[in-house]
Amino acid sequence: MIRIMLVDDHTMVREALRTVLEQDKGMQVVAEVGDGETALRMAEELLPDVVVMDVALPGQSGIETTRRLLAIHPEIKVLALSTYLDRRIVQQMLDAGARGYIVKSAAGAELKQGIRSVVEGRSYLCPQVTALVTDGLRSRRSPSGDPDDQPLSRREIQVATLLAEGKSAPDIANELHISPSTVDVHRRNLMRKLKLHNVVDLTKYAIRTGLVLP
């Protein structure tokens, strides 16, 4: 029996996923939670085999939750589930330790297949994500590929999220324990990598990719 914990801030989504997964007699949903801190606490208590993790969560993102979870329990398999298709976010989730990434529109049979794959020690990307990653590799290999198409660092994602939430550079510096000038450096790097021009554009990007809730 594969023991699964669902992490998604939408109750209806969790209920739908539970219904789909528990149609399989080899799968059991042992917990449903709506935020990262609760997910960490329940994972410590229940030690599920697989955590199905939404990327966009209130407060702490699914990326950071995954990183913290696997630092304590590397034996747990994390499978990302998100509405958003963005190559940088996919890469950040995989870098955090997720063994797979599935878009919510592909949930169902894809989710069951992904869960079985990660339990067996293999990675799993749904076809939409595979196509996205493959296209990205092609563009990087192409002479016309953009050298600025680089993944965001962990710190850059933190700064992007806080900026999109409307926090000032001094506030961000205080929260991340860095200097305001370092925040400005990260902000400039974000704008360059994402080809954005201002915080309004950054906020739209953060909402579109699930870093913050609209």
pLDDT at 126 over 70: yes
**Distance between the two ends of the chain, CA-based, in angstroms?**
37
pLDDT interval class at 145 (50, 70, 90): very low
| pLDDT (0 to 100) of residue 144 | 43
pLDDT interval class at 202 (50, 70, 90): confident
Structure tokens at 203: 């906020």
User: 2-137 with 154-209: one CATH topology?
Assistant: no
H-helix or E-strand spanning residue 128 = helix 127-141
CA dist 208 and 144 (Å) reads 26
**Which carries the bigger pLDDT value, residue 211 or residue 73?**
73
CATH class of 2-137: alpha beta
pLDDT interval class at 170 (50, 70, 90): very high
CATH (residue range 154-209): 1.10.10.10
* Global pTM exceeds 0.85: no
| pLDDT (0 to 100) of residue 212 | 59
What secondary structure does DSSP assign to 43-67, as a single string?
HHHH--SEEEEES--SSS-HHHHHH
H-helix or E-strand spanning residue 13 = helix 11-21
Question: In the chain, what are the domain boundaries?
Answer: 2-137, 154-209
| pLDDT (0 to 100) of residue 141 | 40
Contact 107, 82 (CB under 8 A): no
Rounded to an integer, the average pLDDT of 145-160 is: 68
CA dist 212 and 75 (Å) reads 28
Task: State the residue for tokens 């919510």.
Answer: 104
CA dist 159 and 194 (Å) reads 13
Work out the angle between the directed axes of helices 36-46 and 62-72 (0-180°, nearest 10): 30
73, amino acid identity: H
Contact 32, 9 (CB under 8 A): no
Residue 63 CA to its chain's centroid (Å): 4
Q: Show Cβ contacts of residue 124 under 8 Å, excluding neighbours closer than 6 positions.
A: 79, 99, 100, 101, 102, 113, 114, 117, 118
Mean predicted lDDT score pLDDT of the chain = 84
